[in-house]
Chain A
Amino acid sequence: MSSAAERVLSVRNLKKKLGNKMIIKGISFDIYGGEIFGFLGPNGSGKTTTIRMLVDLIRPTEGTVTVCGLDVHEEHTEALKLMGSIVENPEMYPYMTGWENLEHFARMVPGIGQERIQEVVDIVGMHNRIHDKVKKYSLGMRQRLGIAQALLGKPKLLIMDEPTNGLDPQGIKELREFIRRLADEGMSLFISSHLLSEIQLMCDRVAIISHGEVIAVGRVDELLEQSTGKVLIHVDSRDKAMQVLEGFANLEITDAEEVEMAELTKVSDSVVFAVRMDMTEVSHLNHALVVAGVNVHALQIRKPSLEELFLNLTGGESID
């Protein structure tokens, strides 16, 4: 697919200083055509500041943002024609109807007529309520209207800041399917979230940000594979097994909490260790245990969640 190689958004060494404090300390990443890109980080990590720099609400202290080769800050008009965005909450004019709001924003882009407004209303499925005043909308309706306005200019890149905020589980599921559909049609999507599960379910690639720095970028599944997973080892003898485990390099015996949980399902009178290790070493470990005369009842490989990955990368910074 040719569009897959096309670089839609390119962020290079983006920095922002507010007062004397570096809020964003040099962020770089790329988004390609038709991909759903997740931007993951805890609250206060600089997600929103970064997004505001992407759409030229904030001027970066250093670095560039280019959309299809156009610099967002130097060629504002041309670059923003290619983008649709919802920054934080989708705030619209409450004293106008949904339709009037869309007309308002359509007037700001040349060549968008009534047909396109009708189209986006159909896309987000709002025809029943579109002529109601926005102040009567629920948060879910506002999100939809927000998406509708972002789609008005047929953007190549759609930027959504915490799009699942305020949606019920059904709404989140619909949104997920909707986002996938847009991506299948060739649009690139940038989705920020502090919810790991959301990103894991929705996105092709992810950048993880913490304290204003990107600490990892990559495909979600690759990132997960790279990271050291956890193995639960059920054995019959604590002391012998301990000797073997301590003899292994790059192996870490981890939290007891998880061991207790595993013990609920353990084989009778076995001892459970939880270790963090390279997955390719698991069979060697098994061999070593058997050679040492330890009876191995079970080896459980626990795939890391994005949450564990995040904790790994940040060294324990909390995230919800």
Chain B
Amino acid sequence: MTSIYPLVKNEVLKIIKKRRFLVVILVLAVLIPIFTYAQLKVAQNAEKQFGTTDWRVTTQQQIYDYTNRLGSARVPEEWKKFMMVQVQQLQYYLDKDINPRSPSGVTFTIGFLTETVSLFLPLLVLAIASDLVSGERSGGTIKMLLTRPVLRWRILASKFIALLLFVSLIIVITIMLSYLISGFVFGYGGWDMPVLTGFQVNGTDVSTAFVHTIDQWLFLIMQGGLAWFSVMTVACLALMVSVLVRSTAASIVIMMASIIAGLILANMASSWESAKYLFMVNLDLPTYLSGQLPPIDGMTLPFSMTILVIWALGSLIVSFTVFTKQDILN
């Protein structure tokens, strides 16, 4: 029996030779400086507005802002909930004398991960995952691939392992690039700055019973891990769609549509509670750590992770069953 290693090597080589990975890196290399610049502008703007760089003053100002707007009748209920949670958190940071937004390469990176995990990172993963199988089918090379003395499940397994490697690599490269690029502007320090985590949001109440401080570097690793987890789920689903659909374009469209649907649903899901069982409203894992309001009441980190695991396993089972059984008719 052939070892799986040469098969994985084949798949990795194909992904690299197709230049898909290069595109992913280029997109990151272009976008991260843009976000860095935007972040810089935001910081400068805040400084101009409050006339100081003292974070205590600006945080106090922000709490005051939110509280004011909470009083307004024109602010939608959803936003009010969000702002009430924010106010309680900011106050807690202030009480503990910890800067919630100490500007550094590390905080930028954490912020970048949190912002991109629900749409942008999945998109990058789709660039690689969506044509893993459908590309072989539309190119006709599937016939060459499956008429080797190798069992079909091993071929799909090698594709899956290669995908796993590249998803991990995308997360690592995203973190490295955003740290290196933003650090150039915000400084490379801040690894041991404290962060508060463990906020528990219950309705509009923020429970601080389990809140504790951890170092930024650990927080980054945790956020990176969660981002990897949710993007890996997307990768599994994309692999399944790629097995089921013959055209790569269709495969990308299907995945993009469901992920974007998730973003839209998350905004109106408070009225449709069972939407929380859909994978796409659960992708935003990193926000749980920073203690923001979940899209639907009752959603927690363990809940979301369980949902994602179920979806990922389900799609892997479908992928392997279909791939090993299906007739290659054209």
Contacts and interface: CB of A to CB of B under 8 A. Distances in A.
B139 A91 contact: yes
A87 B328 CA distance: 11
Given A77-B1, A87-B143, A107 B149 contact: no
Nearest to A52: B328
Contacts of A93: 14, 17, 139, 141
Given A58-B328, A96-B17, A108-B2, A88 B149 contact: no
Given A85-B147, A104-B10, A91 B328 contact: no
A49 B17 CA distance: 32
Instruction: Using C-beta atoms within 8 Å of the partner chain, give the interface range for chain B.
Output: 20 to 34
B140 interface: yes
Contacts of A91: 139-141, 143-144
B151 A92 contact: no
A57 B14 CA distance: 22
A25 interface: no
A57 B143 CA distance: 7
Contacts of B150: 77, 108
A105 B327 contact: no
A80 B143 CA distance: 13
Contacts of B327: 52, 57-59
Contact of B2 (A18, A52, A88, A110): A110
Interface in A50-77: 52, 55-59, 76-77
Which size bracket describes the interface of A in this complex?
A: 20 to 34
Nearest to A60: B327
A94 B10 CA distance: 15
A29 B145 CA distance: 27
A34 interface: no
Nearest to B19: A95
A76 B10 contact: no
A80 B149 contact: yes
Nearest to A93: B141
B18 interface: yes
A95 B151 CA distance: 25
Contacts of B143: 52, 57, 87-88, 91
A100 interface: yes
B319 to A, nearest CB: 18
Given A58-B327, A100-B17, A109 B141 contact: no
Interface in B123-163: 139-141, 143-152
A149 interface: yes
A95 B18 contact: yes
Contacts of B14: 93, 96, 104
A78 interface: yes
Given A57-B328, A87-B143, A91-B140, A109 B17 contact: no
Nearest to B1: A77
B7 A107 contact: yes
A41 interface: no
Contact of A56 (B1, B141, B146): B146
A211 B328 CA distance: 20
Contact of B148 (A88, A95, A105): A105
A88 B17 contact: no
B101 interface: no
Contacts of B69: none
A153 interface: yes
B71 interface: no
B6 interface: yes
Contacts of A107: 6-7, 9-10
B144 A149 contact: yes
A89 B17 contact: no
A110 B150 CA distance: 10
Nearest to B141: A91
Contact of A58 (B10, B19, B151, B329): B329
With most chain B CB atoms within 10 A of its CB, the pick from A57, A58, A108 is: A108
A241 B315 CA distance: 79
B147 A55 contact: yes
A76 B148 CA distance: 9
B13 interface: yes
Contacts of A153: 149
A81 interface: yes
Which one of B13, B144, B325 has the greatest number of beta carbons of chain A within 10 Å?
Answer: B144
A31 B267 CA distance: 66
A105 B148 CA distance: 8
Contact of A109 (B18, B149, B151, B152): B149
18 contacts: A52-B143, A56-B146, A56-B147, A78-B149, A80-B149, A93-B17, A93-B139, A96-B13, A104-B14, A107-B7, A107-B10, A108-B2, A108-B7, A108-B145, A109-B2, A110-B2, A149-B144, A153-B149
Interface of A: 18, 49, 52, 55-59, 76-81, 83, 85, 87-89, 91-96, 100, 104-105, 107-110, 149, 153
Given A81-B149, A104-B14, 18 more contacts: A52-B143, A52-B328, A52-B329, A55-B147, A56-B146, A57-B328, A59-B325, A76-B152, A78-B149, A80-B149, A83-B147, A88-B143, A91-B139, A95-B19, A107-B10, A108-B10, A108-B149, A108-B150
Q: Nearest 9 CB-CB pairs, A to B?
A: A91-B140, A107-B6, A108-B148, A57-B328, A80-B149, A81-B149, A58-B327, A55-B147, A87-B143
